[in-house]
Structure formats: C-alpha cells, structure tokens
Amino acid sequence: MATNPTYTISDLAREFDLTTRAIRFYEDMGLLEPQREGPGGRNRVYSARDRTRLKLTLRAKRLGLSLTEAKDIIDTYDSPRDTGPQLR
C-alpha cells in the first residue's frame, strides 16, 4: 500500500524558495493545514494537498491576487462535492 507523500516546512521552503516564516504566515491565514507531530505538536507535517495549495497560492500572488482572494478561490475548488460555489 502506497503512502501519501509528506513534507516538512523546510522541504517546502526549499522547493518554493520561501522562508519558513512565510509558510507559517500562510498557515496562519488558513491556506495550509499541516498535521502536528512530535513533543507538544511542534513538528509540522504537510500533505500533498498542502503542497498543492501552497503552489496555487504563489501562482495567485504572481497574478496579483491578495491572499484572501487566493484563499477564497482555492477553497471553492477544494470543496468535495458541492459544485454550486464553483459555478457561481
């Protein structure tokens, strides 16, 4: 059985040429939702979904959208079965 890939904050920072502080900011904005592991939940573990959301967030920023606008769009397409918001 294959496991889903996971990433550390350092993995994502390196891949997308960001600071870990920027990634934590995106998390505070609700764009990323890593799992917490280790003593006191100190270690962030990001999923493939988080990686994709980060990639889309950075793309939206390059297009001139605010983080709030990016989050609204990404959340709309992240909804499981409800296509109503997507159609609007």
- 17 found inside a domain: yes
Between these two residues, 88 and 32, which has the higher pLDDT value? 32
- 18 found inside a domain: yes
Whether residue 34 contacts residue 72, with contact meaning beta carbons closer than 8 Å, is answered with no
pLDDT of residue 81: 57
Q: What is the DSSP letter of 40?
A: G
Compute the distance between CA of residue 9 and CA of residue 65 in angstroms, rounded to an integer: 24
Structural domain containing residue 45: 6-87
Number of domains forming the structure of the chain: 1
CA distances (Å), origin 41, targets 8, 37, 59, 82: 13, 5, 30, 32
- 1 found inside a domain: no
- 46 found inside a domain: yes
pLDDT over 70 percentage in the chain: 86
- 16 found inside a domain: yes
pTM above 0.85, yes or no: no
- 11 found inside a domain: yes
Nearest C-alpha neighbor of 54 from the set 71, 66, 79: 71
User: CATH no. for residue 55?
Assistant: 1.10.1660.10
Average pLDDT (78-83) is 61
pLDDT digits (tens, 9 = 90+) for 22-61: 999 999 999 999 999 989 888 999 999 999 999 999 999 9
